[in-house]
Structure 1
C-alpha cells in the first residue's frame, strides 16, 4: 500500500509527546537542564511546555528538587490502556502496608505487549535510586521479569516472543542457570534478583494470580542488597507472600486447583 504523503500534524503536540517520552525513558526524575539538553528545545519554549504538561497532570514537578516525572493523569491513561486500573486501586493499599512493614520500596508491575512494566511505586526510602520509575519496562533477569516468565501464560505468543528476545541477551551459562531457577520459582512463588538494574540494589518478587491461576500482576520489594531477603522463608518474604496471597484470593484464586 502506498504511504500517504503530506500528512498534516500538530507540531506543538508532537513536541509535547517528545518531552513525555524523554522523561518516561529515563530511570530517574529529570531537571529542567537535563530535559533541555535531551530535547534541544529553547528555554523559553520548554518552560511553556513543562508548565502546560504539569497543569494538565501529565507531569509532576517536585518543588523540593526541581525535577519532573510522569504525573498522575499520565498514569491514569496508561492504566486504562493496559487494563490495570482496577488492579492498581486494589493493590496500592497493600504496597503502602508492605513499605511501612519492611521499610523498603514496593512496586506493582503489570504486563504489556512489550513486557512487564512498573504501574505503581510506594517509596519508603526517597534517597534510594532503584533504577526505575513508573512506566519502566523490566528485563527478564529482574525479580519481576522472572515471575512473569514463569507464571504469565497469556497472551502466549507475546510471552514467547518476549522471552526469546530477553534470553538472546544472555550467555549460554546464564540461560542454563535460569532454566534451573524457573523450577524453584514455580514451586515457591518467589523470585530473587541480585542487583539487576543498579549496583547494591536488589529485589524479590511474588505473583498475584486470578481464578484461572493466570498472572494478574506482581509485587516486588526493592532495597539495598543486604536488606532484601533472597529466600521465601524469611519473615519479610513471608509477609509479602501473605499480602500477595490475599490479593490473589480477591481475584478468585484458590490454591490446589
Structure 2
C-alpha cells in the first residue's frame, strides 16, 4: 500500500538531486548522483529525466548534469546582488542588534567596490546613508577586504591621503592586508576621516571565493576599544551568510537567524 506521503517524498528526492547538481563545483555524472543520493538506478533515472524535461537540469557535452536553463533565465532577469542582499539582510540585522552600529554590505562591480545594503546605527551619532557615498577603496574597511583577499590589485602608485592616518602606498597596504588575512577582518581607524572607524570581514561564495564584504562603521570614540571583539563578531556573522550561500543554513536556524 502506497503511503500518503509518497508524493512529497518523491518531490524531496527530486529537490535533493537538483540541489546536488546546482551546488557542485563541476558537472556530476549519473553514477555520482545515484551513489550520493542512495536512490535506486531506476528512480534516479526517472527523476533526472523529469528535472531535465522541466528545465531545472541539463547535460553538458560529456553527459554530466549541470544547472538547467531555468536557473540561468532567472539569473539573467534579476540583479544577482539583489539575491545576495536578501540572503544577507537577516544577518545584517543581527549584526546591528549586536553592535548598535551602522552595518554595510559591499560587492565588486568591475574594478569598483559598491555598497549594496545598509542597516542604520541605533545611535544618532553615526547614522548616515553610505550607499550613496563614493568612498575611496583604500580608506574603507570594506574596500580593504577586497585588497587583502586579492580581488583588487594593489595600486602601483601612491594614493590620496585624506587624513594623517590614511595608508597610501603599496607596501603599507600590503602589510595591512597580511594583517587582515591573519586575523580574519580588515580595519580602518581615522583613515577616511578623523573620528571614523570601520571593520569588515569577507563573505565567501562558490569555490570559497570572496564575493562580498560585511562591515560596520561608527565613531572611533565608541569603537576603538572594541575592535577585536567586533571583528570576531563580524567573522562569525560573515560565515553565517557564507553558509546560506552554500545552501547549508541548518545551524543558523538554531540561532534564529535563518
Structure-2-length-normalised TM-score: 0.56
3-state SS, counterpart of residue 164 of structure 1: coil
Structure 2 contact 104–115 (Cα < 8 Å) conserved: yes
Which of 185, 189, 195 does residue 200 from structure 1 map onto? Answer: 195
Q: Against the structure 1 CA distance between its residues 131 and 103, is the aligned structure 2 distance closer, same or farther, given a 3 Å change threshold?
A: closer
Aligned to 2:181: 186
Does 2:107 align with 1:110?
yes
Aligned to 2:62: none
Structure-1-length-normalised TM-score: 0.56
Which of 90, 95, 99 does residue 98 from structure 1 map onto? Answer: 95
3-state SS, counterpart of residue 246 of structure 1: helix
CA distance in 2, matches of 1:132, 1:213: 30
Q: CA deviation at 1:188?
A: 1.9
CA distance in 2, matches of 1:219, 1:140: 16
CA distance in 1, matches of 2:86, 2:104: 13
| Deviation per residue, 1:157-196 (Å, 9 max, x gap) | xx33xx4378544699743222211112122221110123
Q: Against the structure 1 CA distance between its residues 233 and 137, is the aligned structure 2 distance closer, same or farther, given a 3 Å change threshold?
A: same
Structure 1 contact 118–137 (Cα < 8 Å) conserved: no
CA distance in 2, matches of 1:122, 1:133: 10
Structure 2 contact 95–103 (Cα < 8 Å) conserved: yes
3-state SS, counterpart of residue 139 of structure 2: coil
Point out the structure with max Rg over C-alpha.
2
Aligned to 2:155: 164
Unaligned runs of 5+ in 2: 1-77, 249-258
Q: Against the structure 1 CA distance between its residues 167 and 220, is the aligned structure 2 distance closer, same or farther, given a 3 Å change threshold?
A: farther
- The total of aligned residue pairs comes to 167
CA distance in 2, matches of 1:230, 1:188: 16
RMSD, matched Cα: 3.1
Q: Against the structure 1 CA distance between its residues 252 and 143, is the aligned structure 2 distance closer, same or farther, given a 3 Å change threshold?
A: same
Q: Against the structure 1 CA distance between its residues 243 and 166, is the aligned structure 2 distance closer, same or farther, given a 3 Å change threshold?
A: farther
3-state SS, counterpart of residue 140 of structure 1: helix
